[in-house]
Amino acid sequence: MSNRKYERFCELNRKIAVLSSAAGLLSWDQETHMPPKGAIIKAEQMGVLSGIIHNLKTDKELVGLTEELLHDSSLDDVARTNVYEFNRTLQKSLQLSTEFVEELNRTISAAYPAWHQAKTYSRFELFAPHLERLIELKKQEIQLTGYQLHPYDALMDDFEPGLTTHEVDRLFDDVRKELVPFVQTITKHSSPDDSFFNQPYDENLQVAFGRTVLEAMGYDFSSGRMDRTEHPFCIGLHPGDVRVTYKIKPHDISEIIWGLIHEGGHALYEQGLPADQFGLASGSAASLSIHESQSRFWENNIGRSSAFWNFFFPKLQLTFPEQLKHIHANDFYKAANRVTPSLIRIQADELTYHFHIMIRYEIEKSIFEGKLTVNDLPGFWNKLYKEYLGLDVPNDAQGILQDVHWCHGGFGYFPTYSLGSFYAAQFYYAMNKELNTEELIEKGNLIPILDWLRTNIHQHGMKHRAQQLCEKVTGEKLNFAYFMQYAHKKYNSIYHINN
């Protein structure tokens, strides 16, 4: 027998999701094709639309339905999860006025062009007032919605439900104890030559090769598209409309290759979510760390493997015969895994990458503990880069302004990148128990790998929290040891450690 109250609950949630996807489309437009003068009306559009979405979410009918359904014992497990997860976010939304939500979204919308200009001219002071206002608003939001142990927990909860600073502190302690000394050992050995990455590479041919790789991964171009942007991202408006963007450098082939593979991993997850559950928790990603596990899985475990380049390098070499005529597939593989401290997070190798994340985590946590002001940020950022990576930051564009997240109000997001890498290694280990993964990759047959992810991760949506999903897929909760096992196996061989 149908449950009319639950059906109405689903109908209202879908309406909210449709409007949210329209807001997402405006955000995509802002970062790809919007004319500079469009920023003024864009901020107003986002403010009004966010207010409408907030009002729909907190409407008396939906609030009442949710309260009734929370106590409805006739619901199945999926329906109960949908109601519970909606209620979790609803309780936060009920603490925020429409005026506050509109102001926050107007501020975010205005912050993006300011950040872009500040980065272009490498002048943090152009973005600083916008960032200061965003931080003020996020602090207000934390006080309005509340937290139990640490104010930063409230921010991480938006991206990784239930994650605490205590858990992240403990995880990064493991990184410091195990990964940091391993990287120190690696850097004592000679590094592979990657100079051939930095040559003139025709931009149109770069894009064509990137498209070839995405198609091989299983990305459905009838449900997506590729566009150029300053900071690569993926946006899922619906499983039938999932878009990826890329950054391209005419003298660096590596930028577009692993950038697109990374965003392609996100896109495959979005395209693999159950479309008939659109707007509900069961049709949404489990969490941002699981989302990042998919991008890091494809980028690193697959896209930086020797098997991957045994298959794809001959195609790349045919595309750029002059630049790569004296290079072998194994040379390219080793270059793709060169470990060296760098200034830019998105260009970092997969090991030192986590030092970049720890820096951002420490900064964000200190901001919301009240230990840092906006004016303190460039100096503190530069200090940590010297401490963690031994690098002097030459300017704001390569330092405090390199990430787009803060102008989007995305405080609390960064830890999910490291969590995602660690989940990816554990999923990869579990996959290898069922598939001959390396043989499939070497033949360019990536679809069975995608099918495994569809079956074990994508189709479940948010039916399971991240740790529960990990346990269901791998037999245990997140265990950093799998990442270190993966890292030792790969890099001991590349750098001839203990051989």
Helices (H), 273-376: 288-296, 306-319, 321-324, 329-336, 353-368
Tokens read off for 328: 């072998």
Looking only at Cα atoms, what is the longest distance across the chain? 69
Domain holding 118: CATH number? 1.20.58
Q: Is residue 251 domain-shared with residue 306, that is, in the same domain? A: yes
In a domain, 247, yes or no: yes
Return d(Cα 499, Cα 182) in angstroms, integer. Answer: 15
pLDDT digit string, tens, across residues 101-115: 999 989 998 999 999
Give yes or no for residue 278 having a pLDDT over 50.
yes
Give yes or no for residue 245 having a pLDDT over 90.
yes
pLDDT digit string, tens, across residues 65-90: 999 999 999 999 999 999 999 999 99
pLDDT at 365: 97
Q: Is residue 216 domain-shared with residue 276, that is, in the same domain? A: yes
In a domain, 159, yes or no: no
Question: What's the mean per-residue pLDDT of the chain?
Answer: 95
Q: Is residue 108 domain-shared with residue 138, that is, in the same domain? A: yes
Task: Provide φ and ψ at 239, rounded to 5°.
Answer: -55, -20
Domain holding 340: CATH number? 1.10.1370.30
pLDDT digit string, tens, across residues 346-398: 889 999 999 999 999 999 999 999 999 999 999 999 999 999 999 999 999 99
- Which of 111, 146, 181 is the last residue in one of the domains? 146
Count: domains in the chain? 2
Q: Is 263 a catalytic residue?
A: yes
Burial class (CB within 10 angstroms; exposed 0-12, middle 13-18, buried 19+) of 58: middle
Mean pLDDT of 42-63: 92
Mean pLDDT of 193-208: 96
Q: Is residue 271 domain-shared with residue 124, that is, in the same domain? A: no
In a domain, 98, yes or no: yes
142: domain range?
4-146
Q: Is residue 32 domain-shared with residue 134, that is, in the same domain? A: yes
Tokens read off for 142: 């934390």
In a domain, 417, yes or no: yes
pLDDT digit string, tens, across residues 121-169: 999 999 999 999 999 999 999 999 999 899 999 999 999 999 999 999 9
Give yes or no for residue 465 having a pLDDT over 70.
yes
Q: Is residue 61 domain-shared with residue 113, that is, in the same domain? A: yes
pLDDT at 499: 55
Mean pLDDT of 415-443: 97
In a domain, 156, yes or no: no
Give the pairing of strands 224-228 and 234-238: unpaired
Q: Is residue 131 domain-shared with residue 201, that is, in the same domain? A: no
In a domain, 152, yes or no: no
Q: Is residue 39 domain-shared with residue 105, that is, in the same domain? A: yes
In a domain, 157, yes or no: no
pLDDT at 1: 43
Q: What 8-state DSSP symbol labels residue 8?
A: H
Residue 496, by phi and psi: left (phi above 0), alpha (psi -120 to 50) or beta?
left
In a domain, 400, yes or no: yes
pLDDT digit string, tens, across residues 13-41: 999 999 999 999 998 998 898 898 888 89
pLDDT at 39: 82
Whole-number percent of the chain with pLDDT over 70: 99
Return d(Cα 265, Cα 84) in angstroms, integer. Answer: 28
Q: Is residue 343 domain-shared with residue 378, that is, in the same domain? A: yes
Q: Is residue 106 domain-shared with residue 202, that is, in the same domain? A: no
Mean pLDDT of 315-322: 97
Tokens read off for 227: 């566009």
Which of the following is catalytic: 85, 102, 141, 263? 263
Mean pLDDT of 298-317: 98
- Which of 84, 114, 146 is the last residue in one of the domains? 146
Please give the helix or strand (H or E) that residue 75 lies within, else none.
Answer: none
pLDDT at 231: 81
Mean pLDDT of 326-332: 96
- Which of 146, 173, 197 is the last residue in one of the domains? 146
Q: Is residue 316 domain-shared with residue 401, that is, in the same domain? A: yes
Q: Which residue has the tokens 């090991």?
A: 351
Please give the helix or strand (H or E) that residue 55 lies within, else none.
Answer: helix 39-57
Q: Is residue 283 domain-shared with residue 355, that is, in the same domain? A: yes
pTM: 0.93
